[in-house]
A and B are shown apart, each in its own frame.
Chain A
Amino acid sequence: MEQISLGTLIWMTVAAFLTLSIFSFLYRDNPFYRFAEHLIVGISAGYWIAILYHTSLTDLWIEPLVDSVSAFGAAGGSIPAKIGILLANLTPGVIGCLMFTRFFKSKAWISRWPIAYYLGISAGVALPLYIQSFVIRQVAANMFNPVIIYNTIVSDLSTLYYYGNSMMGIWTGIGDIIILLGCVCGLAYFYFSAEHTGVLGAAAKIGIWTLMIGFGATFGYTVMARISLLIGRFNFLIDWVSALGNYFNL
C-alpha cells in the first residue's frame, strides 16, 4: 500500500471509528451507535442541500434568471421577446416559492398548486411510458408462438440425433414453456373471483410454487448483497490497519 498523508490517515481513522460504532449495534444499542447514526443523518441532509444548491438551483434557475434580466441592458432583441424569456425563467421559481406558503396556516392551501402542477406533469409524462415499458412490452415478451417453440425443440433434437451435438435450442424452448406456464399460473393464483379448485386450483398451486421460487432467488440475492456490504466494510478496515502500520513503520 502506498504511503498516505497524516490528514488522510486521520480521516480514515474517523471512518474506521464510525464503522466500528455502527457494528457495535450488533451487540446491543449503545451511545457510540447512536452518535454515528445521528451524524450520518445530519451530514446527509447538509450534503444534500449543498449539492442541490450548486448543481441545480444556480445553473437551472438563478443563472438563467440573471441572464434574462441583464439582457434588458444589452443591445438588440425585441423587448417583448426579452419579457417572454424573463417570464419563462421567473415562473418555475415563483411556482416553487409557493411551496413555502405551507408555513402560514391561512395561506397553506396555495402550496397545493405547485404540488398539483408537479403531479399532473409527472403523471402525464410517466403514465404512457410506464404502460408501454412495464406492461405492454412485458406482456408481449410472454406471447410465445407455440409453432416456433415446437420447431426449435424438434430441429434441435434431430441435430442431436444425427450429429451428436445440441445447439441448446431445446433448452430455450423448454425455458419459454416454463416462463409461459409460470406466468399464466402466477396470474391464476391472483384470480379471486372463483374458488381455487379443479383446474384453477392446480394452476394456482403451480403459480404459488413459481412465486416461491422467485422469492427464493430474491432472498439468495439479498443475502449476497448484505454479505457484500459487510465485505466492503471489512476491506476498508483492513486497508485502515495497513495504512496505520505503513505510517508508523510497524
Chain B
Amino acid sequence: MAAGFWNKMLNLDRRWVYLVIGAATFFPMLTVIRLPIKITPEVQSVYDRLESLPRGTIIMLPMEYSPDTMAELQPMAKAVLRHCFSRGIKVITTALQIQGVLLIEQDLRTVAAEFDKTYGEDYVFLGYKPYPDIVILNMGENFRKPFPKDYYNNNLDELPMMAGVNNYSNVDCIVNINATSGVDSWINNANGRYGAPLALGVTAVIATDYYAFLQSKQIFGLMGGLKGAAEYEKLIGRPKDIANRAMTSVSVAHIFIIIFIIIGNIAFFATRKRI
C-alpha cells in the first residue's frame, strides 16, 4: 500500500511539479507579505565603501547582463546606481556583454532621470567593445584606447567628467555587475594587473565561485543574485523595490522545492529493492 503510494510519487508527471512551483512563485507576488532579509557582511562592505566616498568621487560600474539575466542583475545594478547618484558619486559605465547594451543604456538613463543627473557631468556610458580581456587591460592604461568615443559617439575629452580621468587609478573602485564568467577578466586584469579595488555583483549560479576571491581579499564585496540585490535595496532604504518584493516568492518556492526533495528521497529509499 505504502510502497504503491511512493511508487506513484516517483512516477509523478513532471508537469505537476512545474505547476506547483509556478503557483508557489506566482501567488506570493500578489500578496503584501514580506519576509525579513538579513544583510550579509559581503553586501554590507560594498555599501559601506560607496557610503564612505565623498561627493564627486568617480567609480566604475561595468554592467554586463542581458535580457535573460536581467531579473537578477537589473535590480542590483539599479540599486547601486541609485546609491551612487543619491550620494553625488559619479559613474563610468561599460556594457561588455553584447546582448545587454541597449538594456543597460536604458537602465542608466532611467535611474539618472530619477536623480536629475546630467550625462557627461555625472555619468558616462562607454558602451560595448568586443574581447573583454583586451578592453579591460587597455582601460587600465587609458579609457580612450578601447573607447576613443563613448556610446553616443562623443569624444571622451569633450565630456567634462572625463577631464583628467585616464584609467583605473582615477576611479575609487570598480563594482562589476556581471552575469557571466567575464567576471574573471575583471579579477585577472583590473585587479590582478592594475590593483584596482573590485567588488562583484553576480548571478546566483556563479556566486559560489567567487567567495574564494572574497576570502583572498581580491574583491572587497560580493552581491549574489536576487538576494544580494534585495539586501542592497534594503541598505539604501528602498525595501519596497522589486528584489525585496520577489524574495517572498523565492522563499515560498524554495520551501516547496525542499518538500519535493524530501518526498523524492523518501520515495527512493522506500521503493528501492534490497540486494
Q: List residues of A whose CB falls within 8 A of some B CB.
A: 26-27, 44, 47-48, 51-52, 55-56, 59-60, 122, 125-126, 129-130, 132-134, 137-138, 140-141, 179, 214, 217-218, 221-225, 227-235, 238
Contact = CB atoms under 8 A, between A and B. Distances in A.
B67 to A, nearest CB: 9
A51 B72 contact: no
B129 A227 contact: no
Contacts of A134: 184, 187-188
Size bracket, chain B contacts: 35 or more
Interface in B1-42: 15, 18, 21-22, 25-26, 29
Given A48-B99, A56-B129, A230-B22, 16 more contacts: A27-B15, A44-B99, A55-B151, A133-B188, A133-B192, A137-B192, A214-B208, A218-B209, A222-B204, A228-B226, A228-B246, A229-B69, A230-B253, A231-B226, A232-B71, A235-B246
A225 B188 contact: no
B134 to A, nearest CB: 8
Interface in B82-110: 98-99, 101
Contacts of B218: 133, 137
Contacts of A48: 98-99
B207 interface: yes
B40 to A, nearest CB: 13
B224 interface: yes
Contacts of B18: 26
**Lowest 10 CB-CB distances: which A-B pairs, in order?**
A232-B71, A141-B216, A133-B192, A225-B204, A228-B226, A221-B204, A225-B205, A218-B208, A224-B204, A231-B246
A227 B225 CA distance: 11
Contact of A224 (B129, B133, B227, B242): B227
Given A26-B15, A228-B204, A231-B29, A130 B216 contact: no
A134 B25 CA distance: 38
Contacts of A228: 71-72, 204, 225-226, 246, 250
B25 A234 contact: yes
15 contacts: A26-B15, A26-B18, A55-B101, A55-B127, A126-B188, A137-B192, A141-B217, A218-B205, A218-B209, A222-B205, A225-B205, A225-B225, A228-B246, A231-B71, A235-B242
A44 B98 CA distance: 10
B212 interface: yes
B46 to A, nearest CB: 18
A224 B257 CA distance: 10
A238 B98 contact: no
Interface string B192-221: 110000000001110111001001111000
B160 interface: no
B124 interface: no
B178 interface: no
B238 interface: no
Nearest to A23: B22
B176 interface: no
Contacts of B22: 230
B175 interface: no
B130 A52 contact: yes
A224 B72 CA distance: 10
Given A47-B99, A133-B188, A221-B207, A229 B133 contact: no
A107 to B, nearest CB: 26
B149 interface: yes
A229 B68 contact: yes
Contacts of B29: 231, 234-235, 238
